[in-house]
Amino acid sequence: MPKKLSRMNFEQAVHYLQTYGRPLEQQLFQHEFYGASPQPALEALQAFQNLDGGFGRALEPDIRAQVSSAIATSQALGMLHRLGAPAQSAQVQGAIAYLISHFDAEVLVWPIVPPEIEAAPHAPWWAVASSAETFNGFKFNPRAEIVAHLIHYRLQVPQEFLTRVTGALLDDIDLDSQVISKDSFLCLRELAETDGLPAGWQPRLQDWLTGLLPGLVLNGQARWADYGLPPLEAAPRPDTPWSQALDPAELQVNLDELIERQLDDGSWPLTWSWDFIDAQAWAQAERDWKGLLIFNHLSSLKAYDRLG
């Protein structure tokens, strides 16, 4: 019999989320698990949107700046899509306007974060000076994810602009390449799940990415505490092409390990920290992350029928 998260442990997780989590994840949980209206979650997400239409304000918990960024705005558009926000909503329109105005038309990418984030605490991997090197010139992260969201909301995007950025992205995808990073995979996965790509591209991307997964995913429980792509992060739901490309035994062990790794307070431990940079800021970021991970982990356990 597959191991399941007990009702008591589920309730401990929910208690932590309701006590320490952000209103955003609290409302996302209510919507996904209990069928609550998406409106409270949309209102909670609104708190992270700036007057320029972009999102910031520590929506990405490791970036504590108020200023908008491409990465946070992309994350917000993903949530808006998940919550069924219509293309004509002010939140969607503002996010799209921000992304259009902050696109680097010379190199055809979105810088992942702006220089202004340096004025507030942030994890070292978000340092602006090294961000282009860290994220491979922004070729896929965040561009592939942003383009996926723009295609979904294409009725609000000027056709000429969408055609240009989509074409530039697809030109940079080498379907013969055997090496991509974890963050590139996650962004390209979003693109490959998006309807509305130019003819033939969706199945080609899905075939390419599923072919790369066995070499990209970290197999073996001892490696899942490292930075990398464990099976469950690669395939957080069973109804996707990605779950079919994984070793089913490893995926089941990863689900067991997730249940076993839950802490006594109901949360899950993080595999990273920047406490050594700013202990006070990290303490808040850690709470934010734990609430976010509780929502994500419970969603995956529910999708794989691992809730008792």
| Span 64-113, pLDDT tens digits | 999 999 999 999 999 999 999 999 999 999 999 999 999 999 999 999 99
Burial of 242 (0-12, 13-18, 19+ CB in 10 A): buried
State both tokens at 175.
């379907």
Q: Is the pTM of this model over 0.85?
A: yes
What is the rounded CA–CA span in Å between residue 185 and residue 211? 12
Confirm if 131 and 60 have CB atoms less than 8 A apart: no
In the chain, the amino acid numbered 264 is D
The backbone region for 136, taken as left when phi is positive above 0, alpha when psi lies in -120 to 50, beta otherwise, is left
Q: What is the pLDDT of residues 141-166, one digit of tens each?
A: 999 999 999 999 999 999 999 999 99
